[in-house]
Amino acid sequence: MKTIHIGILGLGTVGGGVVRLLQENGPMIDARLGARLLVKRIARRRPDAPTPVAVDPALVTVDPMDVIRDPAIQIVVELIGGTEEARRYALEALKAGKHLVTANKALLATHGLEISRAAAERKVDVGFEAAVCGGIPIIRVLRDGLVANRIRSLLGIINGTANYILTKMTEQGRPFTEVLAEAQAKGYAEADPTLDVGGHDAAHKLQILASIAYNTFIGLPQVPVEGIAGIEPADIRYARELGYVVKLLAIAKHTDGELEVRVSPTLIPEDHLLASVRGVFNGVYLVADAAGPQMFYGRGAGQMPTASAVVSDIVEIAANILAKRPSRRATLHLPGVQGELALKPLEEIRTRYYLRVMVADKPGVLSKVAGVLGNHNVSIASVIQKARHEQEAVPIVMMTHEAREGDLRAALAGIDRLDVVSAKTICLRVEES
């Protein structure tokens, strides 16, 4: 049996998981591959710190270049995290002619094109299944399983922290800050939660998913992002009264020859499959032109789910090495495949909206608000006007029919200028399918 030598950069949670998985399921994985996978060197910054898994100290080095320069190593697994150091060593590994496996979505989102080009130049592979949705093999699904399909739309719950927080807010009626603090205490949220609750991590992943699904490279600044910090229990409650739940959705849609991409808290019908994706779980719901609607569900993070995805990439690349097969997936972006899809400007998208307008409880107020909407071509599908309290602001909750985002924004600006309106209007998009 042949041996394929692997080098690992970073022995943190995921690195430890990869080593553990190769130890525990090694014989089965080797039999499936038809070759032996051997971890030959591991770089870690603090070689004397306790390891998350038993590792032969002789394999460990402080210098990632010791791993990259090892002539026997054919696959380098980058699990350092961050973007600057990771970028440097990823590029060094590719330049040295090594295949690269990474779980680093921030690296791909910020330096993906540079990495793709470096890999293409040396005709080596880059595996990044672990960068999106942890253990769910969504990259393979899009690239291989649905290869014959155009993806009409893709809706993803792809940030476990945000979904955990929204799930707790929904099921327990608690405010954002309180649930966030609890999530931080439990280790489900970082001390600085901005990347997760601000929607930026979801945007990183959406950028990768949309690049694969639509064969077009999307730059991170092109993805409009809204986070969940402004969501109040009241909005979750009103949404539920209307038959919806609030989820942080990453959305990509192919409409009228243009591509829409965005991340925002969104209302989805309570009987939508994505509404069942609770807690830290991830789910990707997509509509493919031939295969129809599909959903993929699982753990989007965590040591062993992420290790599962990393090892699946190692096995695929090892199989290619054994077959002396040319690289197939070196680029995130396959230029020219279905033309460069233009991105639809955010103000041009059309969708339904949930609005909560805080108004003085006086006769004629609804008519004023409705008038502004009407003047901007936004029509109202339903209204809930909540209990009357003398001299206090009361909410008018509305669902609009489909409207143009630009018109809706102009209407909102007009509404918030009305003297009967007492606070900035809350606006959430609604997905029906």
- Binding-site member from 53, 83, 222, 297 for a copy of itself (CB under 8 A): 297
- Binding-site member from 328, 362, 401, 424 for a copy of itself (CB under 8 A): 328
- Binding-site member from 41, 105, 299, 429 for a copy of itself (CB under 8 A): 299
Q: Does 123 bind a copy of itself (CB under 8 A)?
A: no
Residue 288 β-bridge partners? 151, 292
Q: Which two tokens stand for residue 360?
A: 């003085």
- For a copy of itself, the closer of residues 282 and 400 by Cβ is 282
* Of 105, 205, 253, 344, catalytic: 205
Which residues neighbour 137 within 8 Å (Cβ) at sequence distance 6 or greater? 129, 296, 309, 312
- 352 SS3 class: strand
- Binding-site member from 1, 148, 185, 191 for a copy of itself (CB under 8 A): 148
Instruction: Centre a 10 Å sphere on the Cβ of residue 405 and count the other Cβ atoms it contains.
Output: 21
- Binding-site member from 54, 185, 191, 323 for a copy of itself (CB under 8 A): 323
DSSP state of 145: I
Q: How far is 200 from 62, CA to CA, in rounded Å?
A: 31
Q: How far is 8 from 101, CA to CA, in rounded Å?
A: 9
- Binding-site member from 6, 11, 76, 146 for a copy of itself (CB under 8 A): 146
Q: How far is 80 from 90, CA to CA, in rounded Å?
A: 10
- For a copy of itself, the closer of residues 121 and 144 by Cβ is 144
- For a copy of itself, the closer of residues 24 and 241 by Cβ is 24
- For a copy of itself, the closer of residues 296 and 350 by Cβ is 296
- For a copy of itself, the closer of residues 216 and 264 by Cβ is 216
Which residues neighbour 208 within 8 Å (Cβ) at sequence distance 6 or greater? 105, 108, 109, 112, 128, 131, 132, 139, 332
Q: Does 1 bind a copy of itself (CB under 8 A)?
A: no
Q: How far is 270 from 50, CA to CA, in rounded Å?
A: 46
Binding mask 336-375 for a copy of itself (x = CB under 8 A): xxx-------------------------------------
User: Interaction with a copy of itself in 153-182: which residues (CB under 8 A)?
Assistant: none
Q: How far apart are the first and last CA of the chain?
A: 50
Q: How far is the CB of 27 from a copy of itself (least distance, A)?
A: 8
Q: How far is the CB of 290 from a copy of itself (least distance, A)?
A: 4
Q: Does 57 bind a copy of itself (CB under 8 A)?
A: no
Active site residue 40: no
Q: How far is the CB of 321 from a copy of itself (least distance, A)?
A: 11
Q: Does 257 bind a copy of itself (CB under 8 A)?
A: no
Q: How far is 126 from 328, CA to CA, in rounded Å?
A: 9
Number of residues that bind a copy of itself (CB under 8 A): 58
Q: How far is 204 from 199, CA to CA, in rounded Å?
A: 9
Residue 78 β-bridge partners? 9, 102
Q: How far is the CB of 156 from a copy of itself (least distance, A)?
A: 14
Q: Could you tell me the sign of the dihedral formed by the alpha carbons of 310, 313, 319, 325, in that order?
A: negative
Binding mask 4-43 for a copy of itself (x = CB under 8 A): -------------x---x---x--xx-xxx----------
Q: Does 279 bind a copy of itself (CB under 8 A)?
A: no
- Binding-site member from 7, 15, 127, 137 for a copy of itself (CB under 8 A): 137
Q: Which two tokens stand for residue 374?
A: 């009407």
Burial (CB < 10 A; 0-12, 13-18, 19+), residue 20, is middle
Instruction: Centre a 10 Å sphere on the Cβ of residue 400 and count the other Cβ atoms it contains.
Output: 21
Q: How far is the CB of 64 from a copy of itself (least distance, A)?
A: 24
Q: Does 298 bind a copy of itself (CB under 8 A)?
A: yes
Q: Does 228 bind a copy of itself (CB under 8 A)?
A: no
Q: Which two tokens stand for residue 27?
A: 């014989």
In this structure, the chain runs to a length of 433
- For a copy of itself, the closer of residues 30 and 201 by Cβ is 30
Q: Does 201 bind a copy of itself (CB under 8 A)?
A: no
One DSSP character per residue, 219-270 reads -GGGS-B--STT--HHHHHHHHHTTEEEEEEEEEEEETTEEEEEEEEEEEET
- For a copy of itself, the closer of residues 333 and 356 by Cβ is 333
Q: How far is 383 from 396, CA to CA, in rounded Å?
A: 7
Q: Does 420 bind a copy of itself (CB under 8 A)?
A: no
CA atoms within 13 A on the CB side of 51: 20
Residues in the site for a copy of itself, rule: CB under 8 A?
A: 17, 21, 25, 28-29, 31-33, 129, 134-137, 140-141, 144-150, 215, 271, 273, 276, 288-299, 302, 304-305, 307-309, 311-312, 315-316, 319, 323-326, 328, 334, 336-338
Which residues carry out catalysis?
A: 205
